[in-house]
Chains A and B, each alone.
Chain A
Amino acid sequence: MNKKIFDMYDELFPGKENLLDKGQNTDEIRNELKELNKVSRELKSLTSVTIDENYFTTLLPRFRELQQKKKYQFSLRKLVFSSSLAFSTVIVLLFTFQFVQTGNSKIEVSPNQVTVNSTATVPEDSYIASADQFSDSIVNDRGVQREIDKSIYQSLAVQTEDNNFVLIKSDNDYDKVLSQLDENELETVYAQLQQTKIL
């Protein structure tokens, strides 16, 4: 194929094919142009097909459906992620509190009191028992509970205009409140939780 003739053809194409026969073209050029035009027309004819228009009329509804599905999946993922993050934050805070408590209790020990530090001889079970005791004491500590509850109540109350906090007594109540919140409210609650210093 001659590049120069092709460029000529390409300039005429599309829509000016009727000019192919005109001008000062030699027979050779004219024949090649006709050949190119024939190939082009043949290719075009392969695309003139009858289609089921129903496809294009249902395209938008199908797209909207897909969009809703993706939106739902995204919010679910976001909720799972944010709740797991909030849960880990609470755990970290509890451990921090435990650490602080341990430090404080050491200070409370009377200097006159003789304590034999026999770490090596203390059986392993007693460590576990004492750790459990600490956890229990933190979980049962009314002060800590009050602070955590207060923080959650305040976060949940951000969206309410009056300050009637929702009373949460159990996990079920908590789930119920969460299920009533929409995506934006959940985001606000989560942001508030992150900003609140519990301890």
Chain B
Amino acid sequence: MPEEFSDYDLVRRFLDGDEASFNKLVRKYQTKIYWHARRMTGNHLDADEIVQEVLLVLYDKLKSFSFQSSLFTWIYRITITRSLNYIKKQKVRRFISFDSQENSGLSTDEDLVKNLEDKEKLKKLNGVLQKLPEKQREIFVLRHFDELSYEEIAQITGKSVGGLKANYFHAFEKVNKLMGSEHE
């Protein structure tokens, strides 16, 4: 059975020059990073680009990580910042190139979801999530899909628990309506 290391141990070992520890950290968090980015952007290619960016930042900045917060919170912070920045950049790119949102980042061949039925499911989910404003989407994804507590989300986003609760309520209300309209 492989030896289990805590995040702290893995970071320490990585800083001592053990590259394999970085790989272990990546394997531990890659799925969470990917799905957060995917739910935020709504497609595989953009999510993949964000994952690569997050890993680059992680690799470069780990030496300055001081363990004042948990590594998990820190990785999430990097992921949400990168995701929001990426979405902003895409908006500008789309504005300049007059490209439609539907055409961006969609490639049927390069998706990690191959099954047609599953693709439809994600399309439906994406249709709902993309109608939420980015910040609200971020909170909704963190709470509903990543299942983080309000305290954890507050640590990641720097917002108050009360504000987050109110935001989540509004987001849920919108999602509820959108899901209803999808059925009609």
Interface residues of B in 150-184 (CB under 8 A from A): 165, 168-169, 172-173, 175-176, 179
List of 8 A-B pairs having minimum Cβ-Cβ separation, nearest first: A49-B118, A46-B125, A55-B112, A52-B112, A46-B121, A51-B112, A63-B55, A1-B173
* Alpha-carbon distance A141/B105, docked complex (angstroms): 63
Given contacts A46-B121, A67-B56, contact A56 B114 (CB under 8 A): no
Q: Which of A43, A47, A54, A60 contacts B175 (CB 8 A)?
A: A43
- Contact A39–B112 (Cβ < 8 Å): no
Q: Given A52-B113, A59-B30, verify A39-B169 contact (CB < 8 Å).
A: no
Contacts of B75 in A (CB 8 A): none
Interface residues of B, dominant DSSP: helix
Chain A: minimal CB distance from B54 (Å): 10
On whether the beta carbons of A39 and B175 are closer than 8 Å, the reply is yes
Q: How large is the interface on A (under 10, 10 to 19, 20 to 34, 35 or more residues)?
A: 20 to 34
Question: Which B-chain residue is minimally distant from A3 (CB atoms)?
Answer: B169
Q: Which of A7, A14, A48, A50 has the most C-beta atoms of chain B within 10 angstroms of its own C-beta? A: A50
Is B147 an interface residue when CB atoms closer than 8 A count as contact?
yes
Binding site for B on A (CB under 8 A): 1, 3, 6-7, 10, 14, 36, 39-40, 42-52, 54-56, 59-60, 62-63, 66-67, 70
- Closest CB-CB distance, B16 to chain A, in whole Å? 19
How far is A23 from B7 in the complex, measured between Cα atoms in Å?
Answer: 40
28 contacts between A and B (CB under 8 A): A1-B169, A1-B176, A3-B169, A7-B165, A10-B165, A10-B168, A36-B176, A39-B175, A43-B175, A46-B121, A47-B125, A49-B115, A49-B121, A50-B113, A50-B114, A51-B113, A52-B112, A52-B113, A55-B34, A56-B31, A56-B34, A59-B26, A63-B26, A63-B52, A63-B55, A66-B56, A67-B56, A67-B59
A44 to chain B, nearest CB (A): 8
Pairwise interchain contact B23-A60, C-beta atoms closer than 8 A: yes
- Provide the bound-state CA to CA distance between A67 and B114, in Å: 28
Residue of A nearest to B172 (CB): A6
**B8 CB within 8 Å of chain A:** no
What residues of chain B lie closer than 8 Å to A62, measured between beta carbons?
52
B122 interface neighbour in A7, A44, A46, A55, Cβ under 8 Å = A46
B residues 40-84 in Cβ contact with A at 8 Å: 48, 51-52, 55-56, 59
Q: With contacts A6-B172, A14-B147, A43-B179 known, is A49 near B113, CB below 8 A?
A: yes
Instruction: Provide the bound-state CA to CA distance between A7 and B59, in Å.
Output: 39
CA distance A143 to B125 in the complex (A): 77
